[in-house]
Amino acid sequence: MAISMHKDGFSYDGHRVISCDALSETGLVRHGFSTKQEGTSSGIFTSLNLGIHTSDAPEAVRQNFSLFCRDIGVDPCRAVFAKQVHSTVVLPVTKKDAGKGFLCPGDLPEADGFVTNEPGVCLATFCADCTPILLLDPVCRVIASVHSGWRGTLGKIVCEAVRLMQTRFGSESKDIIAAIGPSIKQCHFEVDEEVYLQFLGCFGEIAEENTVKKGQKYYIDTDSLNVHSLLGMGVLAQNIHVCKMCTYCEESLFFSYRREGMTGRMSGMIELV
């Protein structure tokens, strides 16, 4: 039984999986955001490292991936990975893409998001501070996964995912449920003036309102900017769920690139039943 550790619409099972209650309640998807708990990796990758491009032992990563997939009830051989490049590229995928990344590690498209309406295709995104976002349209039965680092947030990649759900699969924004997973939060997302000015140029006063300046550094609330982007696409506020867990702060639960440098990766995954 899930142990609710945070009253923000997310549940943690006490082991490997954090889930969004709103997604779970639909009964239409299997999904989860991973922690770094209870895996097989050692050293700096202790222990549930899911990063296939890290220098961790490949067999350990494969075992970790199988453990996490088992916990959320998906077949690892049906998962689709991308070569994430901090872009705003979101691709439609089908069953013919299933296994790219796990069975066919050399056949990865360069992208930072996927969309599908086919059951049994598990969309995976990987992060270690960046923001994983999972989307579901329960009416048209369409899902998306998004990797939104600061460049992706700046480029509004989540809008590209919603737009593809609309244009290719007929989704209406009012029906879409969004789960914004664990990521580095404003308390530790520090950028210099050059980066802040890019956010200011893109989001205007919304960026200013969601930034705290300390000396020559700026601390940006990227969750709020992603929410703003979703609202701008017509997604309803009551359908947007934000996990408050900070990957930097919660060292026992998450890998963090900013905290550790070389480190492991977590994953956010979603699959239509």
Mean of pLDDT values over 241-269: 97
Phi and psi at 269, nearest 5°, equal -135, 145
Predicted local distance difference test score (pLDDT) of residue 1: 38
**From CA 113, how far away is CA 133, in angstroms rounded?**
9
Of 7-11, 114-118, 215-219, 233-237, which range is least confident?
7-11
Residue whose entry in the numeric block shows the structure tokens 């349209």: 137
Asked if 25 and 239 count as a contact pair (C-beta separation under 8 A), the reply is no
**From CA 6, how far away is CA 217, in angstroms rounded?**
29
**From CA 37, how far away is CA 3, in angstroms rounded?**
15
- DSSP state string for 65-78: HHHHHHHHT--GGG
Mean of pLDDT values over 26-50: 98
Decide: helix, strand or coil at residue 60.
Answer: helix
Query: Domain residue spans in the chain?
Result: 3-184+239-272
pLDDT tens, 149-159?
999 999 999 99
**From CA 264, how far away is CA 130, in angstroms rounded?**
13
Tokens representing 154?
């700046």
Predicted local distance difference test score (pLDDT) of residue 3: 46
SS (H, E, C) 168-232: HHCCCHHHCEEEECCECCCCCCEECHHHHHHHHHHHCHHHHHCEEEECCEEEECHHHHHHHHHHH
Of the candidates 118, 131, 123, the one whose C-alpha atom is nearest the C-alpha of residue 82 is: 123
- The CA distances from residue 227 to 22, 114, 159, 179, in Å, are 16, 19, 10, 10
Of the candidates 37, 86, 85, the one whose C-alpha atom is nearest the C-alpha of residue 255 is: 37
Q: Which residues pair with 255 in a beta bridge?
A: none
- In percent, the amount of the chain with pLDDT more than 90 equals 93
Predicted local distance difference test score (pLDDT) of residue 105: 75
Asked if 183 and 130 count as a contact pair (C-beta separation under 8 A), the reply is yes
Q: What does pTM read for this prediction?
A: 0.97
pLDDT tens, 52-107?
889 999 999 999 999 999 999 999 999 999 999 999 999 999 999 999 988 887 78
Superfamily for domain range 3-184+239-272: CNF1/YfiH-like putative cysteine hydrolases (3.60.140.10)
Judge if the upstream peptide bond of residue 47 is cis by omega within 30 degrees of 0. Answer: yes
